[in-house]
Chains A and B, each alone.
Chain A
Amino acid sequence: MAVAIESSKAVGRRGTYTRAFFGLMLRDLFVLRREIFPFLIRIGMNPLLFLFVFTYVMPHMSGSAAMNPTANMAATGGGNFGTVLLPGLMAVAIMFSGIAAVAFPLVQEFGVTREIDDRVMCPLPIAAVAAEKIVFSSLQSIVAAALVFPLAYYIPSTPVAAHVSNWPFLIAVLILSSLLAGALGLTIGTFVQPKQIGLVFGVVVVPITFLGCVYYPWAALGHLRWLQIGVLVNPIVYISEGLRAALTPTMGHMPDWGILVALVFFLALLTWLGMRGFRRRVVS
């Protein structure tokens, strides 16, 4: 009994939990720092190539209007395609970071390596172990979103029209979106079996991206009413629209309050689902 548990015995429940939580964060930061280049490539490649092809290569092609159907839509929407893409690509970066930082590793850890065991045996409630995954992934999402800015500034042939008039709104959208992405990753990671991991792209990532108002503003779907209503179940829509409202307000976008309510709703729903799934996978 008198062995050296003193340091942990002296602190109470809250202290124990806090230390364990930060211990996990520290480990994740440490590993991320070691794998910083793969991380940068993972978060940078998609927006880099997207902007390069659609806002630099295409406008330089002969007969660009015919080759670039989105040019017309963007023009009617009040900006160039780069302006449409900036918030959209940030939304994809945030969403994909959540999946890459939580879902993929979790599927591995549950199914193949069982590394999750040492984390679950921390002196920390299971829900907090899952919450750490969400919080750490949200940090990566914010970095990934921030990286889109310089790319969108330097690459497009015509400048992107972005300006922030409401900082608190932007910060709220960024934080909620990043946490939402982590919760989405947790939900996917706890429900998918290792052999189904390839399907995640086809069944989840591609549909929610293409139907997530990433490459077009939601308002532009007005002529396809059924689709405009249908995409409302897709949480990525609110991330894209939230960033659009915060960064490129000249584009048509959903009302601010509606966006925040939807983000909070989906964050709560996916956190609940993800934590339930996580608990089910680690406690029998």
Chain B
Amino acid sequence: MADAGLHTPVESGLVSEPIVDIRGLRKVYPGKPPVTAVDGIDLQVAPGELYGLLGPNGAGKTTTISIATTRAVPTAGTVRIAGVDVVAHPAMSRRAIGVVPQYNTLDRSCTVAENIRFHCLYFGMSGVEARSRTTDLLEQFRLQDRARAYPQQLSGGLAQRVQIARAIAHHPRVLFLDEPSAGLDPQSRIAMWDAVRALRSENITVVLTTHYMEEADALCDRVAIIDHGRILVEDTPAALKASVGGDKLYDLHLVQTADRERLAQQLRDLTGVTGVEPTMDGLRVLAQAREGLLPQVITAANAYGLRDVATAEPTLETVFIRLTGRDLRE
């Protein structure tokens, strides 16, 4: 009976069967008052995809991953990983799952190489297989010279690389990375991104959570922006950024904002301006890249006491702010 459950094909309209299939997911933590961490999430990830959950802290990203990796039980909804219902068959579904949690969970009593080797043994490899897989992974992640080091002796970036190597040691179908760059210096972050991109060649699907929009932008094929336990929008980073409706942003900081509605009206009439919205101390102008537009904007704004102007391209952060009215870091 249990085995039948393991092989039930997923019903789906997608061309290729999704490797991660989350439907109607809800998680309410009991308490006074109860906390709704995940509030009806549906998402499908295709095999080989690099998928990002982008949102501020407390948006429900980690809870979603915890449920998908059998570490939390949902209040409602289903999660199937490689066709296996993770709630009904947590132990068996773990064979298809690799996890790198937010914090360092390396075994402090074992060296780097032993951490990987024992992980292989837990997943049923023979001693010989485990050793050869460990050697391969140490080489792939450029960890050979640290093979005999203990986790306490590693920098944050190295420890993170060991955790990724360990997490994929048993050839999981899906790797979950929870806030992989939290606490990493910029250099280690880029090394980690390279390591994650390299997983494509191993045919591993990656689902990661992040509150760094640069990370979602740089790494992911598709991004779901998530807030208050719900997915607000989901698309490729390029399409999300295009949805802002302009490829240039001019942030106008004004001495005083009393007359800004008149200025806004004036700016909207300029050719190339696609939108104007109020900010804390001025206006944000969304525009198409166009020669001569910036001087026109500045001239218009000068009459209203322009203090400063900043230009930028739309980012996923812009998308998030437009959707929620808040900053990702708030």
Contact = CB atoms under 8 A, between A and B. Distances in A.
Interface stretch (B90-98, B241-249, B272-280): B90-98
Interface string B110-139: 100011001101111110010000000000
B273 to A, nearest CB: 49
Contact of A123 (B69, B103, B105, B123): B123
Contacts of B70: 121, 283
B72 A284 contact: yes
B299 interface: no
A16 interface: yes
A31 interface: yes
Contact of A26 (B3, B99, B108, B121): B121
A121 B125 CA distance: 16
A69 to B, nearest CB: 44
Interface residues of A, number: 39
A142 to B, nearest CB: 22
Contact of B72 (A15, A20, A126, A283): A283
Contact of A23 (B2, B72, B118): B118
Given A3-B171, A5-B95, A16-B92, A123 B106 contact: no
Per DSSP, chain A at the interface is helix
A140 B228 CA distance: 48
B74 to A, nearest CB: 11
A175 B70 CA distance: 33
B92 A27 contact: no
A114 interface: yes
A24 interface: yes
A207 interface: no
Contact of A8 (B29, B91, B123): B123
B71 A8 contact: no
Contact of B71 (A11, A15, A283): A283
B95 A16 contact: yes
A45 B114 CA distance: 31
A117 B70 CA distance: 11
A12 to B, nearest CB: 8
Contacts of B106: 115, 118
Interface in A61-101: none
B122 A123 contact: yes
Contacts of A122: 94, 122-123
Which among B94, B95, B115, B122 has the highest number of chain A CB atoms within 10 Å? Answer: B122
Nearest to B66: A284
A150 B97 CA distance: 49
Interface of A: 1, 3-5, 7-8, 11-13, 15-17, 19-20, 23-24, 26-27, 30-31, 34-35, 113-126, 282-284
19 contacts: A3-B171, A4-B171, A8-B95, A12-B3, A23-B121, A23-B122, A23-B124, A114-B101, A115-B105, A116-B105, A118-B106, A119-B122, A121-B69, A122-B123, A123-B94, A123-B123, A123-B124, A125-B90, A283-B72
Interface of B: 2-3, 29, 66, 69-73, 90-92, 94-95, 97, 99, 101, 103-110, 114-115, 118-119, 121-126, 129, 166, 170-171, 173, 202-203
